[in-house]
Amino acid sequence: MAAGIKKIVGRKPVTGARVEAKGAARSAGLRRGLQILCLFSEARPEWGVSEIAREMKVHKSRIHRSLKTLEDMGFLRRTADTRRYLMGFKTFEIGSLAGRLTNRMAWARHDLRLLAQRLKATVSLRLVVDDDLLVVDMIESLDHLPAHTPQGARVPLNYGAGGQVLAAFLTDDAIRALIRRHGLPRYTAKSLTQETDFLGAVRRVRREGYAVSEGETIPGSFSVAAPIVAPDATLIAVLVVSRPLGELSRSGIRAVAASTVEAAQQLSRRAIEAA
């Protein structure tokens, strides 16, 4: 088992104010179009013109012009019945290409597949993006239900074991700042929604070198996360292994944790060779 995370490296988050300042001299129309695209999510895949105008606090006529441009370019499309807007096929095409190019560790897919087969678990690789983790690769278990965190999803700070590993590479002050900005949402009765509880879990990760989540995001779920690090101890990515909790004894959980840490250490060494 890992001896713990020896070096904690602070990461300066990208704040909304910095983004606004950078964009002050840019195209307002392009910014509006991109902001519209950012509204679409798995939780809310359809939007009407009036809804977007209210959400963005922009006059409906300006929103309509932006929507028509996005539709003409294939980034948005409208449903045949309600005429509400959905993401278009051009968005899918560019998003799929971006996903393939964004994964700087595509060479690790074979290792992920072997680990998933050996542990009969779903294995995912997550890269740090701003304040979150982005799932860039996933091997789903054929023995269990499909994963609830799909490839391409952005995972917040307190969403299971992966977020705890991410937080372990930040200072406590940086973690508190993120909590003030984003909060600690409740997903289940076991979610870590109090700052003191979350910081306590992060400190355990720093001591032990990995994180364990038992039902904190999905009832009955279990996951282990371990860091993939560079030679200077900065965080490259997070390896997450997930299985239903009911099948595992305490010794089984420890065995999965040990295998996850070992695989993350091996990927850390291979990342140096692939650089």
Go through the domains of the chain in sequence order and give each one's CATH number.
Answer: 16-96 (1.10.10.10), 103-274 (3.30.450.40)
Distance in angstroms (rounded) separating the CA atoms of residues 159 and 184: 9
Closest residue by Cα to residue 178 from 12, 20, 19: 12
Residue 141: CB atoms within 10 A of its CB come to 19
Structure tokens at 27: 């195209």
User: According to DSSP H, which parts of the chain are helical?
Assistant: 16-23, 28-39, 49-56, 60-72, 89-102, 109-119, 160-168, 172-182, 195-208, 250-274
Range from 3-7, 89-93, 183-187, 207-211 carrying the lowest mean pLDDT: 3-7
Tokens 């940086």: give the residue. Answer: 174
Structure tokens at 274: 């692939």
In this prediction, residue 243 has a pLDDT band, given cuts at 50, 70 and 90, of confident
Residue 41 confidence (pLDDT):
85
Residue 81 confidence (pLDDT):
86
Distance in angstroms (rounded) separating the CA atoms of residues 62 and 72: 16
Residue 131 confidence (pLDDT):
75
Q: What is the largest CA-CA distance in the chain?
A: 62
Average pLDDT, the chain: 84
- Whether this prediction's pTM lies above 0.75 is answered by no
Distance in angstroms (rounded) separating the CA atoms of residues 190 and 207: 22
At 269, which amino acid appears? R
In this prediction, residue 153 has a pLDDT band, given cuts at 50, 70 and 90, of low
Residue 249: partners with Cβ closer than 8 Å, 6 or more residues away: none
What would the DSSP string read from start to end of 211-227? EEEESSSSTTEEEEEEE
Distance in angstroms (rounded) separating the CA atoms of residues 257 and 264: 11
The answer to whether 112 and 139 have CB atoms below 8 angstroms apart is yes
Residue 24 confidence (pLDDT):
54
